[in-house]
Amino acid sequence: MNIKACPSFKKAYQKLPEQIKLKLAKQLELLAGNFRHPSLHTKRIQGTDGIWEARVDYSYRISFEIADETIFLRVVGNHDDVLKKP
């Protein structure tokens, strides 16, 4: 699948610690290959229409949508912050 980042994702990405950026790069590779890879712990975000979350690590998450063959990255950050504004 193709991956595209929304402006909100790009803005949040800039604020991440370097260690998390490295972990995110690995997780995005998994996401592109299989968005349901067990390491990602992918699940739909309750109360949303077609928005998913995936794990970067224990504390950080990404939210995304899938349209056709493209994954649109919406937000990256602390678990609670991502779920408040997916």
Determine the Cα–Cα distance for residues 42 and 67; give it in Å rounded to an integer.
16
Determine the Cα–Cα distance for residues 15 and 31; give it in Å rounded to an integer.
21
Segment 19-34, tens digit of pLDDT: 999 999 999 999 999 9
Segment 36-52, tens digit of pLDDT: 999 999 999 998 889 99
Domain count, the chain: 1
**Parent domain of 44:** 2-84
CATH number of the domain within which 39 lies? 3.30.2310.20
- Give 15-78 as a DSSP string: TS-HHHHHHHHHHHHHHHH-TT-GGG--EEPTTSSSEEEEESSSSEEEEEEEETTEEEEEEEEE
pLDDT computed for residue 7 by the predictor? 97
pTM to 2 decimal places: 0.92
pLDDT higher than threshold 90 for residue 86? no
User: What share of the chain in percent tops pLDDT 70?
Assistant: 100
